[in-house]
Chain A
């Protein structure tokens, strides 16, 4: 079945540091890939997505590239801010399905 594996947290960084959160996936079809962010006490918000191989999703300075050869969708940001502190979830939606399959989440803590 489908699965998503992402690096365990918490990830603690200083402001303006470079961020990478690794995500790899297993899917039977040709999935779309997503990164969601969850701020404390809130629901998940879509951060970015990519629907086919080599697509790059980007939003608010975050980027992720759909790498079919390595089945990966790593999240990156060049310079993090305190306001980026949240839990980040990698997810996929496989071909012909509407259900999202999520990774376990990575908590990011950015210190001033």
Chain B
């Protein structure tokens, strides 16, 4: 069972360009989470999505950032008009639906993380 996939692994953009980060959850997972890790800091929650719905976007910046998780295809984190301060590692995590134990016996709370996308804004 493949893990959470993120691409690209590295992304370089110039100021003012758009960045699109993709996340494919683990098979059978319908919940996706995005986190941002600034240099020398811990991960900060951005947004929690289920298929076609944004459940919690309390950590998303009010401007330039958006996220979607369509019925088909990966989840997308989109950053418009990037600035240098957007340079960070962006991690996606997924978890199974509430009615599934997760297979490992660890319950519904475990989030499985992808390898991250490292965004550099020049």
Chain A residues within CB distance 8 Å of chain B:
4, 32, 36, 41-46, 49, 51, 89, 93, 97-105
**Contact partners of A44 in chain B: CB under 8 A:** 43, 91, 93, 113
- Partner among A43, A97, A100 whose Cβ is within 8 Å of the Cβ of B116: A43
**Contact partners of B45 in chain A: CB under 8 A:** 99-101
A32–B108 Cα distance when bound, in Å, is 12
- For the complex, count residues of B whose C-beta is within 8 A of A: 30
Within the complex, the shortest CB–CB distance from A79 to chain B, in Å, comes to 25
Given contacts A43-B114, A93-B109, 4 further A-B contacts (CB under 8 A): A98-B48, A98-B95, A100-B45, A102-B35
Q: Which of B12-20, B51-59, B67-75, B80-88 contacts A (4 or more CB under 8 A)?
A: B51-59
Sorted nearest first, the 5 A-B pairs with minimum C-beta distance are: A43-B113, A102-B42, A99-B45, A44-B113, A104-B42
User: Are A32 and B58 in contact, CB atoms less than 8 angstroms apart?
Assistant: no
User: Are A98 and B55 in contact, CB atoms less than 8 angstroms apart?
Assistant: yes
List 24 interface pairs A-B (beta carbons < 8 Å), by A numbering. A41-B115, A42-B115, A43-B114, A44-B93, A44-B113, A46-B106, A46-B111, A46-B112, A49-B106, A51-B107, A89-B42, A93-B109, A98-B33, A98-B48, A98-B95, A99-B45, A99-B48, A99-B58, A99-B59, A100-B111, A101-B45, A102-B44, A103-B42, A105-B42
Closest to B108 in A: A98
Closest to A48 in B: B106
User: Are A99 and B115 in contact, CB atoms less than 8 angstroms apart?
Assistant: no
Within the complex, the shortest CB–CB distance from A31 to chain B, in Å, comes to 10
Within the complex, the shortest CB–CB distance from A53 to chain B, in Å, comes to 16
